[in-house]
Structure 1
Amino acid sequence: MIQKNGSVAAGVLDSYLQKGPLKERAKTNRSFQTFLLGMLFRTDLFFMTAGFLLGRAVIITSLTPFVLPFFATVFWMKRKRRWADSMAVLAGGLTLSVGQAFYALLGLIVFLAGRRILKAFSHSLREEHWLPALVFIAGFLVRLLYQAAFSLNLVWTDVLTGGAEASLSALVTLIFMQSVPLMSTRVSHKLFRNEEIICFVILISSVIAGTIGWHIYNLSVDHVLARYAVLLFAYAGGAAIGSTVGVVIGLILGMASVSSLYQMSLLAFSGVLGGLLKEAGKIGVSSGLLISTLLIGVYGGGYAGLGSETLDSIVAIILFLLTPKSMIKQMASFIPGTREYQAEQQQYVRKLRDVTVSRVEQFAGLFQTLAKSFYPAAENEIHDDDREFLSKVTARTCQNCFKKKFCWVNNFERTQQMMLQLRDISHHGGRSDCARLEHKWRGLCSKADHTLEAIQRERRLAELNEKMRRNVIESRRLVADQLKGVSQVMGDFAGEMKRERGLHEWQEEMILARLNGIGVHVESIEIYNLESGAIDIEAILPVDHYGACEKVIAPLLSDILGESIVVEKKQASDLPGGPSRVVFISARAYDLETGVATAARGGGSISGDNYSLFEIGSKKYVMAISDGMGHGARADQESKDTLQLLNKVLRSGIHETLAIKSINSIMSLRSTEEIYATLDMALIDLQNAKSKFLKIGSNPSFIKRGGHVIMLDAANLPIGMIRHVEVDAKTQQLKSGDLLIMMSDGIFDAPVHIENKEAWVKRKIKELQTNDPQEIADLLLEEVIRAGDGGIQDDMTVIAARINHHIPEWSAFSSEQNDRRASRA
């Protein structure tokens, strides 16, 4: 509700800004922000300022390990203003001394010379691979040349100092290559790693080190900037980031000035206190800095210097309070572990999901369009062209006949009608009608035998062409159906991806409280779905040695959520003694128990009947029997292929009716022989017990409910018999305790002396005294064999299934009742 009201309030405020008197002020603020961003990035003010201060940064009294890494980074980035940035470094060094500026100029010359040489001879290696090594060599040579030029004498300590400075420069180069590009990136929502954040902090610390020695009215600029940076990071990232930033900045400032070494303790303590008090807002973070200054500032300059230290902290706090919260929130979105960073990650995942959904929907639309284009024309458009037929026949017979004018000018209608009748009657008419029409034709045509032969030849060619056209049409229909099915599957997949994980924070807290209240320790609860029948909850808990998930947590969740919950998956930790991951889902409302009995013809080992029992997901169950035409290995292979296709197609998510049509098309196209297969399928929804029956050339199925037996039948031809089949599906609502019996034609047709086989089978099912599915299947098979005088004349298969309400292994219980009992005790 708060979120909804907040969005409404945001909308009202936005409307007021657009229409009210604040519109001009908002536009001015945006223009000012755009101007500042332009000054920072478009005019390269940051890089020039950073270069100027890095040219002034000196650590351990004489080392300048930041100059060459900055040169290397800006030239590696191929910045347009890299020469201006380099001049800024020289200008910064000149503010310290002429010698410092000379050192920077010498470093620039040696680096550029070495870079040109390496680029000319190392074509296979990328520049970033050899750049730190170049900085090390250039730094070592420059330090030796600088010492030789100014002191005219080299000692072994100068070599050691040069090696240390060169090594530090190479390390700083790696850091700058990670951090400097972050300032020039135009990506507004980039997620940084922890290493990149630390490298960026080191860059900021190095820049601040260039302000050492600057004072404004007794204010130490480096102290103010360092504390201001710690305040920003502590407020944005918390205690861990605040303390890390404080240690890094304090360490670099301490290396630059030994008198400022105590700043590391002050800044680190300020980062910890400020991060711990960040929930109190800017005032809390500022209080952490003041407390740290009063406690640790005494160690720096004693009580005499405490006033200046406090003044530096107050100025840093003023700058911090003037910093817009929006800027700090944007800064927090780059720091791993913060709420803003997680929100940015979720936004990134959401964008990625939206792009994926859009692409999947585009593919679904493409497949739908392709399916429409592959569907063949209407059947009434497929016909023999009478004119084409007559033209081909007459071209071979009548063109050179002396009676041409008599037949085709004086008696056009009669000649045309008789030729078409001769074509049709030879294919559809009887032998006597055909002989009579041919006798009549011989009395009219002078080339009767030649004409009749041409008619028969063109008729056979026309039939062959029509068969080929129908095969092409059936192939197109098969492709179209498959494309349509793929389109539906992809559309459903896109719809599932659109469903976001809901926010269930208070439900998660309630479940945790209830579990902790009964003494079950659970580290975390994540709710992904709370829809009835589709609940999905994940829990992290210590090692479960006593089955608490099944015995305690699942029953408690069942009581809280009002439906039966079971454990779907339990995954132990890879580390010994580590936490376990458990997934809880909605239990199915019904359970299915099945039994199967089979017998091959003549008691053999190969049966033309095959059956398949499998689940689709966790909520639907499929029972299917297929009977291949005939007996033996060929019939066995046909029925197996049918069931395998059915299994694969249904598991892919294609609708069952379309799956049957696709299987029929495949079976009819793959062989020119008359090989057929029946299919008897029941699709049972275990959530509501609704069942769909699809019978393709199969026998009736029976449902026994108490003392009544219901027969289900449908009239569909076997698979592969005709090219285009319309599947007649029947839906039946099952109830708990119902018995479903499916059988092949070997069972149904075995009692040959019985006329009304449906009534006989219903009576045998009604007389059964057991409810066990396996016993029912065995008894029916035995009864049919007895009725056939002990012989097995055909392959036989019986599937029996009993549906019952799902009974959880552990009953649900309420923790509130246990709490009341404990309070009474």
Structure 2
Amino acid sequence: MEKVERNLIEPIGDVNFDRPKLEFAKGIMKFQSGLETFFIKKGYLLLIIGFLLGRALILAKLTPFCLPFFAAVYFIRRDKAPLALVGLVAGAATLSITNTVSAFGMAFLFLFTFRIAKKWLKHELRALPFFVFFTLLGGGLLKTFILTKNMTLYDGMMAGVEASLGFILTLIFIQSIPLLSFSKRRQSLKTEEIVCLIIMLASVMTGTIGWSVYDLSVEHIMSRYLVLLFAFVAGATVGSTVGVVTGLIFSLANVTSFYHMSLLAFAGLLGGLLKEGRKIGVAAGLFIATLLMGMYGEESANLLKTVLETAVAIFLFLLTPQALSTRLAKHIPGTAEYAAEQQQYMRKMRDVTAQRVAQFSNVFQALSKSFSSYDEPSEWEEEEKDRELDYFLSNVTGKTCQSCFKKDHCWARNFDTTYAYMENIMSDLDENNGALSPRLSREWEKYCTRSKKVTEVIQQELTFFYANQKLKKQVQESRRLVADQLRGVSEVMGDFAKEIQRERENHHKQEDLILEALQDFGIHIEQVEIYSLEQRNVDIDMTIPYCQGHGECEKLIAPMLSDILGETIVVNSEECSTYPNGFCHVTFRSAKAFTVDTGVAHAAKGGGFISGDSYSTIELGCGKFAIAISDGMGNGERAHIESKETLQLLQKILQSGIKEKVAIKSVNSVLSLRTTDEIFSTLDLAMIDLQNAGGEFLKIGSSPSFIKRGNKVLKIQASNLPMGIIQEFEVDVVSEQLKAEDLLIMMSDGIFEGPKHVENFDLWMKRKISELKTNDPQDVADLIMEEVIRSRSGSIEDDMTVVVAKIKHNTPKWASIPVHSIRQKAN
């Protein structure tokens, strides 16, 4: 706690000291924001790119970049198309007047034809490359004819090549321009988008061909800088790709630059392999590639010039701010920055989801408090009872005393006496089932001239009064039940919100240690992901190569993890590969301290196929095991449906995480409200904690259960009405600590009350259970069923169900395997 406070207090004392740094950082951010606004939002970056593409040549003659770039900008950012056109025309003007007129004329011809044909186009994006193709083809042929007054096959072929390049470049620019046009792009770049971006950047750099500074070629410097940047950001794969693509584009623009493709590709590969050395390592890769290609390549005579160009590119690369490379890396899959960006996004989504779930939890909690507030005793309850009594007497006097000549005598002069008499009559009629006691009757006749009339009216009004009281009580009970249900839902949602918000702990060190220990043992592990190392709640996922069904996860990996973590670890789930070269995904979890084996025997009345009894064994996700038996009223299909639906509803509510009491009350509420028929169900529920073998038993109108512990037989019984009779009832929970090798025997009333000519069913059942010579759950269930049927001479008078559960210590199948190396490294 002191450390946390110190970390919080120390920065406050250094505010004045760090103020210049903060001001400088703010200035840098403001400057970057201004640059983004100027170049990206206002579109002046398109002007610069257009200028360079207007100068770019292919085969020292063709200019296929102008029209595809203008068409792509016109389609994507139509408001910035004039800026792009100005840049293209200005760039073409640096070459010749012919190129200037050609660039402007091609753009005008494209706009003219595209705007006319736009009315009949359904998919403009699909048609755009074809418009560029035919515009370049027609414009190129027209340009050649105007300049030479002659048309040869060579001129037609060159026009076709230029148009084909324009077709391809249009598709490339359509994908790459959005990457340069928007300042905030959260999506990751696809491989095709990365290649398109590289082609566009290389095409732009061809516009610098012929530029030199102190006899150093600008295009060589910029191309090597581009390779350095991408090799540093994305590694050898992308770096070599950038080198090949950039070198190819430069080779098409200038045939003498063909050897640069080999240099750039080698530099990208070598720099990406040395990426772990940060910028120095990537720069060393380019320098080594330059020396090797310069000494043994075609440019050995100009080695010094090539080295100087590389040195300038390295200098520019070292000056590149870390923010630029980090920002670029966030959009390229496979980089650490991209993974961190995705993790941050997922964390944000998790926090938003947890916040919304917590808000819903608060809403349900508030609703629960709103409903339960009416059940709390308050001062106005007594006033409300007095007011109801006043209304009751007002109704009586309105039908009797209002027309009586002694009204003033009784109510004006002797109000308290008259009120007390009527109150006594009311309570007397209630206690004597509508009959008035002789003494009170005589006194009332002496006091009131209309005694019989008043008594009859009181009897009539009492019927309505108590009906109203009963209705209010039912409403209050329903309100209390709704409050409990809302509170249970609120608790579940609150726990769920906390579970969502619980960030996965950083277990990278433990993952590496486990991975190293298993690999040292000779087991190849592809990936280890640790989600929890909490005691008795370990959760580890692994990806391993296909093991050909040898079961090494259960036999080797789980025992080694048991020794490493100090508790028993077992295979929770395993998804094996369907082909030999694939991978298997395995989940390891903490083993439970106890397990439960069950056996069931059941029979329908008269040997039929449909039984009114239903049973279920449910392993809940919270480390508990539930056993339930439900007996629908009567026999046959209707009773079977009632008992089955009771268990299905209970199972879904329990699996949602709601407490047992609230779950049973919810089921009872549904059963009591969904039908007016007198169809009821019993429920016998046992919840067993698999960590400590603690048992909780909830019996709703069900038969007793028995626990066989050695030679002792314990009885478990609770008294509750069957479900569906009343809307509100208190659930009695009986707790019992179970032990290993205990047998839990649960049965329906067909088994418990089945023996014929037996006066005490408890003693008979205890004796039969104590006489059992086997501890196998299924054998015990079959023997008890057989004894009951034999006592009835083979007849089955009622539906019968018996479920037997045996509690056992969870002994792992495989012993732990000691791993010493990981213990030494951990220490």
TM-score with structure 2 length normalisation?
A: 0.89
2:533 is the alignment partner of 1:534: no
The residue aligned with 1:19 is 18
The CA deviation at 1:549 is 2.3
SS at match of 1:695: strand
Check 1:799–1:243 CA distance in 2 against 1; reply closer, same or farther (3 A cut): same
Cα deviations by residue, 1:574-617 (Å, 9 ceiling, x for unpaired)? 54542222222222221211223445567666654432222113
SS at match of 2:208: coil
Q: Is the 8 A contact 2:429 2:435 kept in 1?
A: no
User: Which amino acid is 1:412 matched to?
Assistant: F
The residue aligned with 2:500 is 497
The residue aligned with 2:775 is 771
Cα distance between partner residues in 1 of 2:86 and 2:234: 36
1:242-391 alignment runs, 5 A limit: 242-297=239-294, 302-375=299-372, 377-378=374-375, 381=381, 385-391=388-394
Cα distance between partner residues in 2 of 1:473 and 1:128: 66
Unaligned runs of 5+ in 1: 818-825
Cα deviations by residue, 1:307-359 (Å, 9 ceiling, x for unpaired)? 22222111111111222233323322222211222222222222222222222
Check 1:299–1:605 CA distance in 2 against 1; reply closer, same or farther (3 A cut): closer
Q: Could you tell me which of 212, 215, 235 is aligned with 2:212?
A: 215
Cα distance between partner residues in 1 of 2:807 and 2:388: 58
Q: Is the 8 A contact 1:751 1:784 kept in 2?
A: yes
SS at match of 2:300: coil
Cα distance between partner residues in 2 of 1:424 and 1:215: 114
User: Which amino acid is 1:579 matched to?
Assistant: F
Cα distance between partner residues in 1 of 2:404 and 2:508: 96
1:560-639 alignment runs, 5 A limit: 560-575=564-579, 577-598=581-602, 607-617=611-621, 619-629=623-633, 635-639=639-643
User: Which amino acid is 2:171 matched to?
Assistant: L
1:773-792 alignment runs, 5 A limit: 773-783=777-787
The residue aligned with 1:224 is 221
SS at match of 2:402: coil
User: Which amino acid is 1:219 matched to?
Assistant: L
User: Which amino acid is 1:494 matched to?
Assistant: A
Q: Is the 8 A contact 1:17 1:26 kept in 2?
A: no
User: Which amino acid is 1:500 matched to?
Assistant: E
SS at match of 1:730: strand
Cα distance between partner residues in 1 of 2:9 and 2:554: 46
The residue aligned with 2:730 is 726
Check 1:527–1:629 CA distance in 2 against 1; reply closer, same or farther (3 A cut): same
The CA deviation at 1:243 is 0.4
Cα distance between partner residues in 2 of 1:630 and 1:44: 81
The CA deviation at 1:275 is 0.8
The residue aligned with 1:798 is 802
1:377-456 alignment runs, 5 A limit: 377-378=374-375, 381=381, 385-430=388-433, 432-433=435-436, 451=454, 454-456=457-459
Cα distance between partner residues in 2 of 1:184 and 1:435: 101
Cα distance between partner residues in 2 of 1:753 and 1:435: 51
The CA deviation at 1:89 is 1.4
Q: Is the 8 A contact 2:361 2:493 kept in 1?
A: yes
1:512-523 alignment runs, 5 A limit: 512-523=515-526
2:187 is the alignment partner of 1:184: no
The residue aligned with 1:86 is 85
The CA deviation at 1:12 is 6.3
SS at match of 2:94: helix
Cα deviations by residue, 1:36-56 (Å, 9 ceiling, x for unpaired)? 444433554422211111111
SS at match of 1:52: helix
Check 1:43–1:447 CA distance in 2 against 1; reply closer, same or farther (3 A cut): same
The residue aligned with 1:117 is 116
Q: Could you tell me which of 800, 815, 819 is aligned with 1:811?
A: 815
The CA deviation at 1:284 is 2.0
The residue aligned with 2:49 is 50
Q: Is the 8 A contact 1:559 1:813 kept in 2?
A: yes
Cα distance between partner residues in 1 of 2:622 and 2:662: 21
Q: Is the 8 A contact 1:48 1:88 kept in 2?
A: yes
Check 1:575–1:544 CA distance in 2 against 1; reply closer, same or farther (3 A cut): closer
User: Which amino acid is 1:305 matched to?
Assistant: N
Cα distance between partner residues in 2 of 1:436 and 1:782: 65
Cα deviations by residue, 1:139-188 (Å, 9 ceiling, x for unpaired)? 33332332233233334443433333233223222222222122222326
Cα distance between partner residues in 1 of 2:325 and 2:8: 23
The CA deviation at 1:211 is 0.5
Q: Which moved more, 1:378-387 or 1:217-226?
A: 378-387
Cα deviations by residue, 1:92-117 (Å, 9 ceiling, x for unpaired)? 11011111111111122122223432
SS at match of 1:336: coil
The residue aligned with 2:670 is 666
Cα distance between partner residues in 1 of 2:725 and 2:664: 13
The CA deviation at 1:67 is 1.2
The residue aligned with 1:172 is 169
Q: Is the 8 A contact 1:191 1:344 kept in 2?
A: no
Cα distance between partner residues in 2 of 1:27 and 1:769: 84
The CA deviation at 1:371 is 3.3
- Number of residue-to-residue matches in the alignment: 813
The CA deviation at 1:412 is 3.3
Cα distance between partner residues in 2 of 1:605 and 1:542: 49
The CA deviation at 1:418 is 4.4
Check 1:435–1:262 CA distance in 2 against 1; reply closer, same or farther (3 A cut): farther
The CA deviation at 1:227 is 0.5
Cα distance between partner residues in 2 of 1:605 and 1:251: 80
The CA deviation at 1:235 is 1.1
The CA deviation at 1:659 is 0.2
2:59 is the alignment partner of 1:66: no
The residue aligned with 1:134 is 131
SS at match of 1:569: strand
Cα distance between partner residues in 1 of 2:623 and 2:520: 33
Q: Which moved more, 1:434-443 or 1:230-239?
A: 434-443
User: Which amino acid is 2:104 matched to?
Assistant: L
The CA deviation at 1:194 is 2.2
Check 1:471–1:169 CA distance in 2 against 1; reply closer, same or farther (3 A cut): farther
User: Which amino acid is 2:539 matched to?
Assistant: D
Cα distance between partner residues in 2 of 1:618 and 1:360: 20
Q: Is the 8 A contact 1:590 1:804 kept in 2?
A: yes
SS at match of 2:570: strand
Q: Which moved more, 1:528-537 or 1:748-757?
A: 748-757
Unaligned runs of 5+ in 2: 822-827
Check 1:574–1:777 CA distance in 2 against 1; reply closer, same or farther (3 A cut): closer
The CA deviation at 1:738 is 1.7
SS at match of 1:305: helix
Q: Which moved more, 1:517-526 or 1:429-438?
A: 429-438
The CA deviation at 1:26 is 4.0
Cα distance between partner residues in 2 of 1:476 and 1:203: 69
1:625-774 alignment runs, 5 A limit: 625-629=629-633, 635-672=639-676, 674-749=678-753, 758=762, 761-774=765-778
Check 1:436–1:83 CA distance in 2 against 1; reply closer, same or farther (3 A cut): farther
Cα deviations by residue, 1:463-505 (Å, 9 ceiling, x for unpaired)? 4444544454455444444433333332222222223333333
The CA deviation at 1:34 is 4.1
The CA deviation at 1:8 is 7.2
Q: Which moved more, 1:379-388 or 1:302-311?
A: 379-388
Q: Is the 8 A contact 1:667 1:719 kept in 2?
A: yes
Q: Is the 8 A contact 1:228 1:316 kept in 2?
A: yes
